Amino acid sequence: MKLDARIPNGPIEEKWSNAKFEMKLVNPANKRKYKVIVVGSGLAGGAAAATLAELGYDVACFCFQDSPRRAHSIAAQGGINAAKNYQNDGDSVHRLFYDTVKGGDFRSREANVHRRAEVSVNIIDQCTAMGVPVAREYGGTLANRRFGGAQVSRTFYARGQTGQQLLLGVYSALQRQIGAGKVKMFSRTEMLDVVMDNGRAVGIVVRDLVTGTISSHAAHAVILATGGYGNVFYLSPNAKGSNVTETYRAYKRGAGFANPCYTQIHPTCIPVSGDYQSKLTLMSESLRNDGRVWVPKKKEDIAKHPDQIAESDRDYYLERKYPSFGNLAPRDISSRAAKEQCDDGRGVGPGGRGVYLDFRDGIKRDGADKIREKYGNLFDMYERITGEDPYKVPMRIYPAVHYAMGGLWVDYQLQTTIPGLFCLGEANFSDHGANRLGASALMQGLADGYFVIPYTLGNYLAGVPATSLADVNSAAFKTSETEVRARLDKLMSGTGKRSVESLWKELGHIMWENCGMARSKESLEKALAEIPRLREEFWRDLSVIGERDSFNQSLEKAGRVADFMEFGELLCRDALIREESCGGHFRVEHQVEGEAKRDDERFCHAAVWEYAGSADATPIRNVEPLVFENVKLATRSYK
């Protein structure tokens, strides 16, 4: 597999400007002759589809929900970063770049990170111009708050529903193009394969989720913006439908899959409450601006009501361990610190798997109304789920899987290793390295969709004849359709007894226990032995109800879980070979006093996996070396 990152020459501050100038353009009059497929209508896909249509391309956009505005992006709570320095507290493009490279534990590509920091300032202008109701100060200027891994306030927000408001902006732009006939929207349609011809992506095969009809769609270029794969762990705050299917199918067609073991564990989720739970709920990182994290100092206090624990008996362990960043230490570090307290027997709530997030001091300082203004919907959500009022009793929180830093490998142009196949947003391996900083996913999705792909796609299409649109009746499409139908038949043919949900849950358990917050050679080898056994059981004992050619949610889910059954193994394999700790990838063998210990000599690279022809064949590991010329490789410290 050839991995040419196509990083432009020149100083880091000039790379993107130079690249934009050097990129080839498509004659405006010819743009309508190019057909572009965008799979995904979240912030990344929706922004790309709307912008490309505005530019004049003929766009088809696909999503599996009933409306593009239900993409998982709608769940994002806390905010979106931008290096505007409105607070005059020392922020700059370079600082955002620096914080991100450091926050990602030196496992991201410098040039991409810098571009995103540059573009961040345009995103906020774009969103406010579109009418997104971003929070404002009394005098009308845009408000900011702080997020993890930063000492400046650069996070823009709309209460605790930033994703929803941003997505409504994207959705309005998309609807405008749908109304104008420039975007053809296919909702409730699932992509099941990428079609290749002569080594290029030429279209996709999809299933209509209402009728079960399989059909093919040809394009000059295909863009995947299909979100993250956190649900391979079963329990996560991701939307239940979030999946790995489309990126995994692209991987099977030859796209490199980068760093699958980089998964983010978010420190502040509502703890698991029982065996029959199928979903977790996040409490945004923004809450740690005003909430203080603590556990009782003494084990005998864990069962006491928090009000009965004296101030001197509380351990504000993040403030103690990381005085410079305190409660806003980065997610990987805060999550591990919470686990450490609970492993030490000082966790609170059922099973001792919880720590307090306490707003007592914030409310005393600013008043309950101010706190309600900033986080009201999150407090309401917490109370609805737990029955406890967080204005009066501290929240109980615990880390959970949240975000996928790994994804399809893309070069600087956001193109995968397959010409004509691009990947945006959480679905690509992108700009976060081994740990994403809070409020940077929304920034990346909109940067990719609004500001990067409009240039890089044109650069690609300028070299593709408009007359070269593939024929959906050609052998390439027909073969792909036949394979898709055969797979659906195989899923339907099971006469077993186990539900998809129970198999998925078992996979999630294997993943979380052996490849979750802490991983070891031993646990990963155990997972790598258990997953193929479970996969075999999946195909032997699966029961899918309903019919193939009609509305069938059991079949949809089975297809996604079948991919997780293979992908989980790839993730664990990647974790096993990366014999270092970095960011969210914590190998217990590689630590210094509980902190991650990188091995830059051996692992300062992105690991890019190449499919070897079958689920049982060992995939090939390729590497893209990472070079740090602008931020010196150093041990991260938030102390």
Ligand X SMILES: Cc1cc2nc3c(=O)[nH]c(=O)nc-3n(C[C@H](O)[C@H](O)[C@H](O)COP(=O)(O)OP(=O)(O)OC[C@H]3O[C@@H](n4cnc5c(N)ncnc54)[C@H](O)[C@@H]3O)c2cc1C
Residues that bind ligand X (CB under 6 A): 39-45, 62-65, 71-73, 75-80, 162-163, 190-191, 225-228, 237-238, 242-243, 245-246, 282, 284, 402-403, 425-427, 439-442, 445
123 or 524: CB nearest ligand X: 123
> Nearest distance from residue 459's CB to ligand X, in Å?
22
- Residues 167/74, Cβ–Cβ less than 8 Å: yes
Joined together, the tokens standing for residue 172 give 């309005």
> Nearest distance from residue 11's CB to ligand X, in Å?
28
381 or 461: CB nearest ligand X: 381
| Residue found by looking up tokens 């709920």 in the block | 281
> Nearest distance from residue 228's CB to ligand X, in Å?
6
User: How many Cα neighbours within 13 Å face the side chain of 275?
Assistant: 2
8 or 241: CB nearest ligand X: 241
SS3 197: strand
C-alpha dist (Å) from residue 147 to 247, 284, 334, 542, 568:
30, 10, 12, 44, 30
State the catalytic residue, choosing from 207, 331, 535, 560. 331
> Nearest distance from residue 448's CB to ligand X, in Å?
8
The alpha carbon dihedral of 601, 603, 606, 612 has a sign of positive
Nearest CA among 436, 412, 400, 447 for reference residue 107: 436
44 or 355: CB nearest ligand X: 44
Helix axes 93-103, 110-129, angle to 10 degrees: 120
Q: Where are the beta strands (DSSP E) in 1-45?
A: 35-39
> Nearest distance from residue 577's CB to ligand X, in Å?
26
State the DSSP H helix or E strand holding residue 9, giving kind and residue range, or none if neither. Answer: none
Joined together, the tokens standing for residue 205 give 């095969």
26 or 287: CB nearest ligand X: 287
- Residues 301/281, Cβ–Cβ less than 8 Å: no
> Nearest distance from residue 406's CB to ligand X, in Å?
13
Distance (Å, rounded) from C-alpha 310 to C-alpha 347? 17
> Nearest distance from residue 382's CB to ligand X, in Å?
13
Q: Is 109 a catalytic residue?
A: no
> Nearest distance from residue 529's CB to ligand X, in Å?
29
284 or 334: CB nearest ligand X: 284
40 or 347: CB nearest ligand X: 40
Joined together, the tokens standing for residue 22 give 């050097």
Burial class (CB in 10 A: 0-12, 13-18, 19+), 478: middle
The alpha carbon dihedral of 115, 127, 30, 420 has a sign of positive
Joined together, the tokens standing for residue 321 give 């361990």
Ranges of H-type helices in 344-440: 360-366, 368-386
26 or 357: CB nearest ligand X: 357
Distance (Å, rounded) from C-alpha 116 to C-alpha 394? 36
Backbone angles phi, psi at 273, to 5 degrees: -110, -15
State the DSSP H helix or E strand holding residue 130, giving kind and residue range, or none if neither. Answer: none
Query: Hey, which residues are catalytic here?
Result: 331
